[in-house]
Amino acid sequence: MSYAIEMLNITKDFPGIRANDDVTLQVEEKSIHALLGENGAGKSTLMSILFGLYQPTRGTIKVRGQEVKITDPNVANSLGIGMVHQHFKLVECFTVTENIILGLEPKTKFYTTDIKSAAQRIQQLSEMYGLNVDPYAKIQNISVGMQQRVEILKMLYRNADILIFDEPTAVLTPQEIHELMEIMRNLTKEGKTIILITHKLKEIKEVADVCTVLRRGRCMGTIQVAETSEEEMAKLMVGREVDFGVEKQAQQPGKVVLEIEHLKVKNSKGLLGVKDFSLQVRAGEIVGVAGIDGNGQTELVYALTGLAKAEGGKVLLNGKDITHSSIKHRIEAGMGHIPEDRHKHGLILDFKLKENMVIHSYNEAPYAKNGLLQMAAIDRKTDELIEMFDVRSGQGRETITRSMSGGNQQKAIIAREIDRSPKLLIVVQPTRGLDVGAIEYIHKRIVQERDNGKAILLVSLELDEVLALSDQIAVMFNGELTGWVKAEETDENELGLMMSGSIRKGVGEA
Amino acid sequence: MKKREKLAAPLIAVLLGLLVGMIIVIASGKSPVLLISAIVKSFCGFDILAPGPINPRYFGEFIVFSMPLILTGLAVGFAYRTGLFNIGGEGQVMVGALAATVVGILVPLPPVLHAIVCLIAGGAAGALWAFLPGFLKVKRNISEVVTAIMMNYAALYFCNYILKALPGSTQTRTVDLPASALIKSDFLKQITNNSRLHWGILVVILAVIVYHIVIEKTTFGYSLRATGFNAEGARYAGMKVERNVVYAMMISGVMAGLAGAIMVLGTFGYGRVLNTAENYGFDGIAVALVGGCNAIGIFFAGLLFGLLKVAQPLMQSMQIPKDIATIISSTIIMLVAMQNGIIFIMNWLSKKKETAEKGSEEA
């Protein structure tokens, strides 16, 4: 058998850090080879080397047995290596075809762009691999999953036969993930080789043949997926046993902390995104909000935290009406929030870690005195939080937050919010894009806060997460509450039906 | 490493800028020594070509030219740290000068107090002029850049109208301000051999210190910087982003207004009717850029641009076109804007050196 790609003994040094240490990756032709590792394990660096974005400090690369020097992405392209990036690079107002041919437009004999023949070829490719893409659709009108297929087509159109998928499922719905797996299988059947970068074990188990595991820049081994259990892979990746279940003792909830009454919120289109929504969260209880993306969860959270204004209804925090309070007032009234978008809302990325740690309390004692920041107190607090929450970064509290890994950024936010000890913690998508180790840790912390008597509202698109953490589950569909059930009395199936509005349970008819 | 880069990149830009200037002088058939001599002489009065004692008058004049540039640099930098582009420094300088003139001529007050009130009036006028762009940005989401540029023109004609209407004004200037309003200094004049150096230097130094403390040390500055980096994130953390934007513009306006005021009260002693803008506001953008928007950087960048400005007449007297100074400053601005490229080349060179050393060691 022959290898499509061989990266032999690759070492890559960055100032102060060795991102890859003697890593060897051998990818068989026509196979799906997974590259597994936590955030910061060196997966992206390794792939950037293969794609010509970085040069290795040491080591050799062979493509189809030939030793090559990949000095820039154009060389990679000419070797038939294509990359499907996590963040799509598409022109929104162009059609699928226009996007795909961008840069190598075919010409008619009158030197105009030959859209027609290009579209035909795209149609053929699309059918051949079961992609089901309309060549004349505009990017802005098609779903995220479809856009990803356009990225795949872009590679195929350029005759790439080694495809690198960088965390391809991060942006997809469960249904779309399933379809993508199908597409990948089709691609290998037609002779393509696939490298799949991911930290989701489930996906590897479902689709990959072979898996190479990286940990802290080192190669921990290459395994046959069929012969290895998820637990074993997780152990290789994290370096210790991983606990997938969330341990949780039964607890008697206390008094009502958050009360939402007939809340109405407009969405960005000016329509009601949340319609007459009511809910209660009690102390010592986790209420999970389940729902398919775009069913009013974002609007609900925005209205609760003060980023959007409520059109009607009431929000009570500890019996106090905060419906129209300022954000600052809500924070002072005891609301903590771990936001969905940590880069936009949760952090000031260009601030140092320590500056982010006091973002709510920078003008209170002991961090401020007579309007001056008290750096010593801020330093002390930050070091304490770094220690307590195991936030890892290059230069400790002085690290620019942007340079930290996603998992550690999220840990920093969680440390900050939990440390303020709010009575109500609104947690949105707390583990999106994080690796197994971090997820485990964050789940544990959330349950711990519940046990400390905090009221927690968890909004997540990951059904597993909602089921594992919640005591009580609220299902949102089309801006309405379509389900209100105890977590132990329901299952994925039932929730799925409520999420699609097929059934209602535990709520009065609207 | 990072700190060194931050310091080295602007310095390299300055040196390369001078080098380009010299090459152009050579290309025009003149000796580059003349250029250097003009710059050195403008700095401290020492003549390379005819060595003699240092003449501190040149140094005094150089500082006089630098002072308003430092202030407008601080103005642009302050707004920039809050994520705003205050291109209206020009207008704010003019209304600052106007307010100082008006209060100086029309409001009789005892010495010292009079000067202080004039300065306050200048700063307040600048703040007022900058308030509108900030306010409109917050309330109506109108770009502060557009508003501020338009207000530059409004300031020019408005100021000229008022200045000419003051009692005793001619078509080009007002009457002299009473001595009580002036910040001229016999002492500074004396130690700099009769230059126009005045107490405005205290205002400048104070402004640099205030800028540094407010931006880096206070909770207010912290929330301004948060707003500048990520307004959504700042809003989300409960900060009053709208208020911050308006305040930052106003403080920026104070700095620019003071630049206008010290020129009237210290350098000239009367109000001038301008035909066209003098570019202090626009030069401030370059100063802030080269200074990296921090207080110390802006201070030195202001001195640099002041030096290039004050050297122009001297260069002309040596038959070097004064536009060379403009070429030098433009080159510096361009290179500073490309400083990531400079850092990249620096790293590449040091890496090359390293490998070369390693190679020779192995051999």
Sketch the domain layout of chain A as residue ranges. 3-238, 252-334+422-510, 346-421
List Cα–Cα distances, B14 to A135, A253, B290, B300, in angstroms.
Answer: 53, 67, 9, 12
Torsion angle, alpha carbons of A494, A499, A500, A506, to 10: 70
Range with the poorest average pLDDT among A18-22, B100-104, B198-202: A18-22
Å between B7 CA and nearest CA of chain A: 19
Å between B233 CA and nearest CA of chain A: 4
> Are A372 and B217 inside 8 Å of each other by CB?
yes
If we measure between CA atoms, which residue out of B65, B70, B75, B66 comes closest to residue B95? B75
Other CB atoms within 10 Å distance of the CB of residue A179: 18
Does B1 have pLDDT greater than 50?
no
Tell me the C-alpha distance between A359 and B223, whole Å. Answer: 9
**Residue B134 confidence class, pLDDT cut points 50, 70, 90:** very high
> Are A327 and B230 inside 8 Å of each other by CB?
no
List Cα–Cα distances, A10 to A17, A23, A43, B23, in angstroms.
Answer: 15, 5, 12, 46
Tell me the C-alpha distance between A363 and A373, whole Å. Answer: 8
pLDDT digits (tens, 9 = 90+) for A49-70: 998 888 999 999 999 989 999 9
If we measure between CA atoms, which residue out of A22, A6, A200, A170 comes closest to residue A88? A170
> Are A351 and B223 inside 8 Å of each other by CB?
no
Q: Print the domain residue range for B154.
A: 62-311
pLDDT of residue A510: 42
What is residue B28's DSSP assignment? T
pTM of the full predicted structure?
Answer: 0.74
Chains A, B: CB contacts within 8 A come to: 62
Nearest CB to B238 within list A331, A349, A371: A331
> Are B220 and A371 inside 8 Å of each other by CB?
yes
pLDDT digits (tens, 9 = 90+) for B160-178: 999 999 998 898 999 999 9
Beta bridge partners of A321: A316
B218 touches chain A (CB under 8 A): yes
pLDDT of residue B333: 84
Residue B44 lies in a domain: no
Does A438 have pLDDT greater than 90?
no
> Are A363 and B217 inside 8 Å of each other by CB?
no
Å between A366 CA and nearest CA of chain B: 12
If we measure between CA atoms, which residue out of A445, A501, A498 comes closest to residue A473? A498
Instruction: Give the mutation candidate from B222, B227, B229 for the A interface (greatest A CB count, under 10 A).
Output: B222
List Cα–Cα distances, B125 to A183, A429, B86, B148, B254, in angstroms.
Answer: 66, 49, 15, 14, 7
pLDDT of residue A37: 83
The mean of the pLDDT values for chain A is 86
Beta bridge partners of A3: A28
Beta bridge partners of A335: A424
For chain A, how far is it from start to end, CA to CA, in angstroms? Answer: 63
Quote the number of domains for chain B. Answer: 1
The mean of the pLDDT values for chain B is 88
Does B156 have pLDDT greater than 90?
yes
Tell me the C-alpha distance between A203 and A32, whole Å. Answer: 11
Residue B246 lies in a domain: yes
Does B343 have pLDDT greater than 80?
no
The CA radius of gyration of chain A, in Å to the nearest whole number, is 25
pLDDT digits (tens, 9 = 90+) for A464-505: 888 889 999 999 988 889 889 988 888 877 887 888 777 888
pLDDT digits (tens, 9 = 90+) for A216-251: 888 888 999 999 888 888 888 877 766 666 777 777
**Residue B357 confidence class, pLDDT cut points 50, 70, 90:** low
pLDDT of residue B3: 63
B117: left (phi over 0), alpha (psi -120 to 50) or beta: alpha
Instruction: Determine whether B150 is exposed, middle or buried from the number of CB atoms within 10 Å of its CB (0-12, 13-18, 19+).
Output: middle
Helix (H) or strand (E) holding A438: helix A436-451
Q: What is the β-pairing status of strands A285-290 and A455-459? A: parallel
Indicate the SS3 state at residue B220: helix
Q: What is the β-pairing status of strands B173-176 and A58-63? A: unpaired
Homologous superfamily (CATH) for A252-334+422-510: P-loop containing nucleotide triphosphate hydrolases (3.40.50.300)
For B236, the closest chain A residue by CA position comes to A345
> Are A344 and B233 inside 8 Å of each other by CB?
yes
The contacts found for A60-64 with CB under 8 angstroms, 24 or more apart, are A60/A6, A60/A7, A60/A8, A60/A9, A61/A5, A61/A6, A61/A7, A61/A8, A61/A10, A62/A3, A62/A5, A62/A6, A62/A7, A62/A8, A63/A4, A63/A5, A63/A6, A63/A162, A64/A2, A64/A3, A64/A4, A64/A29
- Return the ∠ at Cα B22 (arms to B21 and B28), rounded to 5°: 95
Query: In sequence order, what E strands does A191-347 have?
Result: 193-198, 210-215, 218-224, 256-266, 272-282, 285-290, 310-317, 320-321, 335-338
Rank A200-214, A242-256, B80-94, B186-200 by mean pLDDT and report only the highest. Answer: B80-94
If we measure between CA atoms, which residue out of A368, A476, A349 comes closest to residue A410? A349
Helix (H) or strand (E) holding B259: helix B241-262
Residue B33 lies in a domain: no
Other CB atoms within 10 Å distance of the CB of residue B18: 18
Cβ neighbors of B354 (< 8 A, separation 6 or more) are none
Instruction: Give the mutation candidate from B219, B241, B344 for the A interface (greatest A CB count, under 10 A).
Output: B219
Cβ neighbors of A320 (< 8 A, separation 6 or more) are A333
Question: How many Å is the maximal CA-CA distance in chain A?
Answer: 78
Given a contact cutoff of 8 angstroms between Cβ atoms, the answer to whether B91 and B154 are in contact is yes
Rank A194-203, B148-157, B327-336 by mean pLDDT and report only the highest. Answer: B148-157
Residue B278 maps to which CATH number? 1.10.3470
Nearest CB to A373 within list B1, B218, B233: B218
- Predicted ipTM of the assembly: 0.77
| Token pair for A124 | 């053929």
CATH of A3-238, one of 2.60.40.1170, 3.40.50.2300, 3.40.50.300, 3.40.630.30: 3.40.50.300
From chain A, the residues in CB contact with B225 under 8 A are: 348, 351
pLDDT of residue A508: 62
Rank A106-120, B27-41, B258-272 by mean pLDDT and report only the highest. Answer: B258-272
For A364, the closest chain B residue by CA position comes to B219
> Are B236 and A326 inside 8 Å of each other by CB?
no
> Are B218 and A371 inside 8 Å of each other by CB?
yes
Other CB atoms within 10 Å distance of the CB of residue A91: 12
Given a contact cutoff of 8 angstroms between Cβ atoms, the answer to whether B44 and B37 are in contact is no
Percent of chain B having pLDDT more than 90? 52
pLDDT of residue B248: 94
Task: Tell me the HSE value of A284 on the side-chain side, using a 13 A CA sphere.
Answer: 10
Å between B226 CA and nearest CA of chain A: 6
For chain B, how far is it from start to end, CA to CA, in angstroms? Answer: 29
> Are B236 and A305 inside 8 Å of each other by CB?
yes
If we measure between CA atoms, which residue out of B35, B17, B16 comes closest to residue B26? B35
For A370, the closest chain B residue by CA position comes to B218
**What is the pLDDT averaged over residues B252-271?**
94
For B240, the closest chain A residue by CA position comes to A328
Q: What is the β-pairing status of strands B173-176 and B270-272? A: antiparallel
Cβ neighbors of A203 (< 8 A, separation 6 or more) are A34, A169, A177, A181, A196
